Amino acid sequence: MAALDELEREYDKAKRDRSFQRRLDELLRAYAGRPTPLFFARRLTKKLGGAKIYLKREDLLHTGAHKINNCLGQALLAERMGKRRIIAETGAGQHGVATATVCSLLGFECVVYMGTEDMRRQELNVFRMRLLGAEVRGVESGSRTLKDAINEAMRDWVTNVRTTHYLLGSVLGAHPYPTMVRDFHKVIGRETRGQILKAEGKLPAAIIACVGGGSNSIGIFHEFLKEKQVKLIGVEAGGRGHALGEHAARFDGGSPGVLQGTYSYLLQDDAGQVANTHSVSAGLDYPSIGPEHAMLKDTGRAEYVSASDSEALEACTTLARMEGIIPALESAHAVAEVIKRAPKMKKSDIAIVNISGRGDKDVGILRENLKLD
Amino acid sequence: MPLSFQNRPSLVAYVTCGDPDLATTREIVFAAIDAGAGIVELGAPFSDPVADGPVIQRASQRALRKGTTIDQVIQLAREIRQRSSAGLIVFSYWNPILHMGLARFAAAAQDAGVDGVLVTDLPVEEAGDYLREMRRRELATVFLAAPTSTDERLKAIAKASRGFIYAVSRTGVTGVRQQLPDDAQKLVRRLRKYSKLPIAVGFGISTPEQFMAVGGFAEAAVVGSAIVEIIERNRGKEPQSVAEFVRRLVAGS
């Protein structure tokens, strides 16, 4: 609790410190490559015959996903707090890579926890982290995926709290993480608003994003929360089926519960034990969901759907062939949804899809699943 | 019934219920009480025991594979209560209790003769409903105080606690250690400013020397991983092995 209180206090101070914001903005610009483009997907739009589809290109950010927005913010905070060591959990490895990246940039010792199952299916990212100088510790317990990596990261933090900052990668965990991580990603939505108004002179009818922990989606949604005519659609991992253990769609069978310091919708069994989950995408493979998403679902402000493993894999290929963009399997879930939704929308409507990351890391999985070579 | 601390230090023994199975846990608990444990913490296994080290993690996994539920832990408490007046604390993470229903849990625990509850991941700041329900059922509420807790939080923890206060001896998770850090004594000293309740020091205690050392500044010592590891390593003779270990541990107190 003391560490969380310290973090909250430090974050509050930083929010009011213009020099902190200036330094962060400068790094986001000159180092990470912001702003990211909002791209009109002409061929995909034509193929689907409905809404005009725009893609927010978080995949073009340094390290290949939106994660670095949050990593830069938290690393600067850790610096202010005088910590010398940063630890993180990672699912698909993008957050781990972004953390290792900023640790090299700012001179922190870095340890990343990753489930051994995830290490196997996202090998490229494991290598990248080690090349960047981070220590990657495989987690063998439980399901050997994201939630187990979080458990281990929390154990490390609690043991080394005096020297170490836990750089949590999504809008999960105890307060202030869900708020803070969301705030660091709000830049996505802010840019999108300016960009779509410039390109089309009006706001989109729908914004679609994949939801694992919920950071990229809340990052793009937040700017538009007050404009009810903008539909917000979160796409969860539909996995292989509806039975508990076959997917990671928290709003499909989950119920309120507490996991890792967060009270939100949780996939759990009758005894209150956390369920195993499945998704072809490591980054969406998590049994709980950011609490702000739970609120948006309960109030009806956002709609949550799911895409299956096969729909995501197919969407990957479609985007690659229609627009020359290979999305991360996580982001492909959002692409799968726009493929279903756009044809049912008016041609004058705009649908924006957040491409939260690029798919290089998924080449192994894509190769296993698609018969190409 | 009130939790009593008759020896100095008293032994609070933790076991993960259902490892290797509930019947054996029952025998282990009786053996531990006979050998000198004054209070027993009945651990309900959880899928994601974030505050626990590898020993208790493994025990939890084994107990979960046997299908151990929190209902069964309460039932076990009832059976133990029928033959013993030792203090019984149900030790669990918050989600299984929440899922069972706080009111249902509290009623069942009281009915079974449980003395108190310790919820590992429920900080006092989030404990409003919990405290109300526990007080209604006259169940002691045991909270964890850490070396990194601020004075303000120690005060709040002291205020919310009943029965005893669990002082965590170091920053970290459960698990046996070679030495007891200085953190422990300092924490207990700070707690005494805010509470007259007995204090039990836990995490890392496994030898008679460490046990006796705790007696120098606290009313009780909690031994968890050491006992769970003995259970893990002595298949088929768990109750005897635990009894022997407990007898050696408390010999000097």
- CA-to-CA dists, residue A264 to B101, B211, B224, angstroms: 16, 40, 31
Query: Strands A262-266, A255-259: parallel, antiparallel or unpaired by DSSP?
Result: antiparallel
Q: Which single residue is written with the structure tokens 């913010």? A: A73
Q: Any CB–CB contact under 8 A between B98 and chain A? A: yes
User: What does the pLDDT average to over A239-268?
Assistant: 96
Q: What is the DSSP letter of B119?
A: E
- Pick the catalytic residue: A52, A67, A297, A361? A67
- Please tell me the predicted confidence (pLDDT) of residue A158: 87
| pLDDT at position B158 over 70 | yes
Assign A1 a pLDDT band (cuts: 50, 70, 90).
Answer: confident
Interface confidence, given as ipTM, is: 0.93
Reduced to 3 DSSP states, what percent helix, strand and coil does chain B have, rounded to the nearest 5?
45, 15, 35
Task: Compare CB distances from B98 to A2, A159, A272 and report the shortest one's residue.
Answer: A272
Of all helices (H) and strands (E), which one includes residue A56? strand A52-57
Mean pLDDT over the full length of chain B: 95
| pLDDT at position B183 over 90 | no
- Please tell me the predicted confidence (pLDDT) of residue B48: 95
At A293-349, the pLDDT tens digits run 999 999 999 999 999 999 999 999 999 999 999 999 999 999 999 999 999 999 999
User: What does the pLDDT average to over A231-257?
Assistant: 97
DSSP states along A139-171: E-STTSSHHHHHHHHHHHHHHHTTTEEE---SS
At B64-118, the pLDDT tens digits run 999 999 999 999 999 999 999 999 999 999 999 999 999 999 999 999 999 999 9
Query: Strands A350-355, A302-308: parallel, antiparallel or unpaired by DSSP?
Result: unpaired
Interface residue ranges in chain A relative to chain B, Cβ cutoff 8 Å: 1-3, 5, 141-142, 147, 151, 154-155, 158-162, 255-261, 266, 268, 270-274
User: What does the pLDDT average to over A20-38?
Assistant: 98
- Please tell me the predicted confidence (pLDDT) of residue A373: 61
Assign B2 a pLDDT band (cuts: 50, 70, 90).
Answer: low
- Pick the catalytic residue: B19, B52, B219, B229? B52
Percent of chain B with pLDDT over 70: 98
Task: Tell me the one-letter amino acid at B124.
Answer: V
CB–CB contact B171 A162 (8 Å) = yes
Q: Which residues of B touch A7 (CB under 8 A)?
A: none
- Residue of A158, A166, A260 best to disrupt the B interface, most CBs of B under 10 A: A158
At A127-180, the pLDDT tens digits run 999 999 999 999 998 889 999 999 999 999 988 988 999 999 999 999 999 999
SS3 (DSSP) at B163 = coil
Can you list the alpha helix ranges (DSSP code H) found in chain A?
2-15, 18-27, 42-48, 68-80, 94-106, 116-121, 123-131, 146-160, 177-200, 215-221, 291-299, 309-323, 329-341, 363-369
Q: What is the pTM of this model?
A: 0.94
User: What is the chain B residue with the closest CA to A258?
Assistant: B95
| pLDDT at position B41 over 90 | yes
Can you list the alpha helix ranges (DSSP code H) found in B36-182?
54-65, 70-83, 94-100, 102-112, 128-136, 151-160
Residue A373 CB neighbour total at 10 angstroms: 4
Task: Compare CB distances from B98 to A2, A257, A260 and report the shortest one's residue.
Answer: A257
| pLDDT at position B1 over 60 | no
- Residue of B48, B57, B102 best to disrupt the A interface, most CBs of A under 10 A: B48
Q: Which residues of B touch A277 (CB under 8 A)?
A: none
Assign A65 a pLDDT band (cuts: 50, 70, 90).
Answer: very high
Residues A168, A88: contact at Cβ < 8 Å?
A: yes
CB–CB contact B95 A268 (8 Å) = yes
At B233-252, the pLDDT tens digits run 999 999 999 999 999 999 98
Nearest CA-CA partner of A52 in A372, A302, A341: A341
- Please tell me the predicted confidence (pLDDT) of residue B177: 76
Mean pLDDT over the full length of chain A: 96
User: What does the pLDDT average to over B128-146?
Assistant: 97
Q: In B2-61, which ranges are E strands?
A: 10-16, 37-43
Residues A62, A33: contact at Cβ < 8 Å?
A: yes
- Please tell me the predicted confidence (pLDDT) of residue B104: 98
Q: Any CB–CB contact under 8 A between B150 and chain A? A: yes
Task: Tell me the one-letter amino acid at A298.
Answer: D
Residues B198, B5: contact at Cβ < 8 Å?
A: yes
- Please tell me the predicted confidence (pLDDT) of residue B70: 97
- Please tell me the predicted confidence (pLDDT) of residue A159: 87
- CA-to-CA dists, residue B132 to B74, B106, B137, B145, angstroms: 20, 10, 9, 20
How far apart are alpha carbons A258 and B129 in whole angstroms? 15
Assign B6 a pLDDT band (cuts: 50, 70, 90).
Answer: confident
Domains of chain B: 10-139+211-251 (3.20.20.70)
Residues A264, A254: contact at Cβ < 8 Å?
A: no
